[in-house]
Amino acid sequence: MRYGLLLADADGTLFDFHTGERVAFTATMEAFGLPATEETAALYSRVNQSHWKKLERGETTQARLRLERFVDFLSELKALNADTCGAPPEAPAEGYMTELAKALAERFVTELGRQHVPMPGAEAFLTQVAAQMPVYLVTNGIAKVQRSRFETSELRPYLRDLLISEELGHVKPDPFMLLEGMRRAGITDKRRVLMLGDSVAADIGAAVNAGVDSILITNGGPAPENGGATYVVSTLAQAATIALAG
């Protein structure tokens, strides 16, 4: 068998982050009496994605991201409807909004840590692959969220190790986590390592920078042009065939 180590991304690859995020977002907003509508969810998603892209470019930190995404979200939400955020008339608006953003950020991390919905076919995929080689999770996620999710997930028994950017101080596409996974697995031959992920910028970029093969999973979406991946698949079943090829 060609490959001896699988490095796998978490969200959008093995875990259905979008479903979990929406549940966590709804619970968080309702806890503070804020609207959890399709519009506010889409607004939060757009703001959140912009901060994660800044993180991938090295323009922010995960500590800043956790808070600043809610600061910006509330600012845009208030601009849409001045009464939405419910600042009491006796409270300074700016101070109130900052404290609300902090409270939302903390509650959201807690709620998100409770979500561990697997992607379709994830357990079957791991059952096959983990029986033949170690599988290490390499994620740019927030440590508190990821540790909480994975320790209670049905996928946890198949994962040999968990490498989290916030703990290691390096964010994909930096290759550090991939190289650290190789070190922990005792593998020095990069030809025996395979990276699986759904992000061209983060996952495939990290694989290219580390000099290892990669699989981009599109989850049924169109394959990007010049994405840089060694392989492109639409399902985890297809990814398993590649990972286990002789």
| pLDDT tens digits for range 155-205 | 999 999 999 999 999 999 999 999 999 999 999 999 999 999 999 999 999
| pLDDT tens digits for range 125-144 | 999 999 999 999 999 988 98
CATH architecture designation of domain 18-112: Orthogonal Bundle (1.10)
Start-end ranges of CATH 3.40.50.1000 in the chain?
5-16+118-243
The CATH class of the 5-16+118-243 domain is alpha beta
In angstroms, rounded to a whole number, what is the distance separating the alpha carbons of residues 135 and 161? 7
Model confidence pTM above 0.85: no
In angstroms, rounded to a whole number, what is the distance separating the alpha carbons of residues 133 and 93? 55
- Compute φ and ψ for 76, nearest 5 degrees: -70, -35
Start-end ranges of CATH 1.10.150 in the chain?
18-112
